[in-house]
């Protein structure tokens, strides 16, 4: 089986690396200003889209997450998509965490030009590429951000495109896609919740991403790290992808630090990684990219993880554990041609996010 997996991966990489395809893709990807504009087709079955927004306001000691999804198992009927989901998670220091989540019978997608495909949830609100406005169970969260004030995913040298998959973002063979629009930056936001005695208007560090595809992932890890000095940003997602009947391990990771940028991907031949997880509370990744090696670990107490819903053919069911208060520890070394390692720096970041999803969520069985 390992040999077959290797053969499949090699075939895919050869196709992706061919000069003709690379040239063609580079041209088209360069013209695509925002990957979040183009995902939806009315003839797709089992199609989903998911928006994830995370805000860290260290001045007010508050973290906010807004998740919205659209999922359809019977084919999309324009303009509506049945099965929608919204969650608001708020963690303010010294207060009990707040979790609102609800699924809906129908949500709508609207092409908003430069705003990308906007998700509209009747009586709840909307999200797009420039703003979110969501009201759920008495809690109202709004946020706006500028495309000029953002930290994008580091572009690959070949494609020059700031998206995790690089050139592979154009290949329809992949059942799931992930695009990080903002690894960090600034956003204005407001929270108003009389029930929870919250009334905040401030500026926060901001993360904004989206995933979409023909099927929802069946096994994944996910992480997001943004430090208070605005110098360290880490985004990562992956696990196992079902492709051509095989479970293929895959992980995409970007690390931005003052001492260098690390980008791990199956298409980056100079990178590699190893993942270790423990009981859905800890994740450790070791690896290298070019002449930089790293060790990244995230952990939190079990009591700090939220149980979130995920879309399935049977509807939205509990299927992911997520923490907003994980502590991330990163160490980076520089490796010489002779293999000698020189320590470059270490970073310790609080209020990091860590998630275990679907089959990776069933920790007790592992």
Whether residue 348 is predicted with pLDDT greater than 70 in this model: the reply is yes
pLDDT in tens, 54-97: 999 999 999 999 999 988 755 555 556 678 899 999 999 888 89
Work out the end-to-end distance of the chain between its first and last CA atoms, rounded to an integer number of angstroms.
21
Phi then psi for residue 327, to 5 deg, are: -105, 130
Least confident of 73-77, 207-211, 288-292, 299-303: 73-77
pLDDT at 16: 34
Look up residue 166 and give its DSSP letter. Answer: G
Residues in Cβ contact with 231 at an 8 Å cutoff, skipping those fewer than 6 apart? 257, 258
Domain residue spans of the chain: 37-365
Is the separation of the CB atoms in 219 and 361 below 8 Å?
no
Output the CA–CA distances (angstroms, integers) from residue 42 to 22, 214, 268, in the order listed: 28, 12, 33
Output the CA–CA distances (angstroms, integers) from residue 234 to 115, 131, 250, in the order listed: 25, 22, 17
Is the separation of the CB atoms in 335 and 291 below 8 Å?
yes
Whether residue 222 is predicted with pLDDT greater than 80 in this model: the reply is yes
pLDDT in tens, 298-310: 999 988 999 999 8
pLDDT in tens, 106-156: 888 776 555 567 888 999 999 988 899 999 999 999 999 887 778 888 887
What is the per-residue burial (b if ≥16 Cβ within 10 Å, else e) of 1-20? eeeeeeeebeebeeebeeee
Ordered DSSP codes for 254-313 = EEEETTEEEEE-TT-TTEEEEEEEETTTEEEEEEEETTEEEEEEEE--GGGEEEEEEEET
In angstroms, what is the C-alpha Rg of the chain? 20
Look up residue 12 and give its DSSP letter. Answer: H
């Amino acid at each position: 089986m390992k040999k077959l997996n290797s053969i499949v991966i090699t075939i895919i990489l050869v196709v992706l690396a061919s000069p003709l395809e690379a040239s063609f893709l580079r041209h088209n990807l360069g013209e695509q200003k925002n990957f979040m504009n183009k995902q939806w087709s009315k003839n797709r079955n089992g199609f989903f889209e998911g928006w994830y927004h995370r805000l860290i306001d260290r001045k007010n000691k508050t973290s906010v997450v807004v998740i919205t999804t659209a999922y359809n198992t019977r084919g999309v009927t324009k303009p509506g998509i049945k099965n929608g989901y919204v969650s608001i998670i708020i963690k303010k220091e010294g207060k009990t965490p707040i979790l609102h989540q609800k699924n809906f019978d129908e949500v709508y997608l609207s092409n908003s030009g430069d705003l990308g495909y906007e998700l509209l949830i009747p009586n709840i609100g909307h999200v797009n590429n420039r703003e979110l406005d969501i009201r759920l169970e008495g809690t109202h969260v709004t946020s706006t951000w500028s495309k000029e004030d953002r930290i994008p995913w580091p572009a690959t040298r070949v494609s020059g495109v700031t998206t995790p998959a690089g050139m592979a973002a154009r290949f329809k063979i992949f059942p799931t896609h992930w695009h990080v629009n903002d690894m960090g930056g600034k956003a204005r936001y407001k929270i108003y919740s009389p029930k929870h005695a919250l009334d905040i208007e401030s500026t926060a560090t901001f993360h904004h991403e989206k995933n979409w595809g023909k099927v929802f992932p069946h096994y994944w890890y996910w992480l997001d790290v943004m430090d208070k000095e605005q110098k360290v940003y880490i985004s990562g997602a992956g696990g196992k992808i079902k492709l051509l009947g095989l479970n293929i391990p895959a992980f995409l990771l970007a690390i931005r630090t003052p001492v260098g940028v690390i980008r791990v991907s199956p298409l980056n031949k100079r990178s590699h990684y190893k993942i270790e997880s423990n009981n859905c509370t800890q994740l450790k990744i070791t690896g290298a990219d070019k002449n930089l090696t790293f060790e990244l670990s995230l952990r939190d107490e079990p009591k700090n993880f939220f149980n979130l819903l995920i879309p399935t053919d049977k509807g939205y069911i509990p299927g992911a554990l997520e923490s907003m208060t994980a502590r991330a520890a990163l160490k980076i070394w520089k490796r010489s041609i002779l293999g000698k390692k020189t320590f470059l720096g270490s970073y310790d970041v609080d209020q990091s996010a860590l998630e275990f999803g679907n089959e990776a969520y069933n920790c007790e069985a592992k």
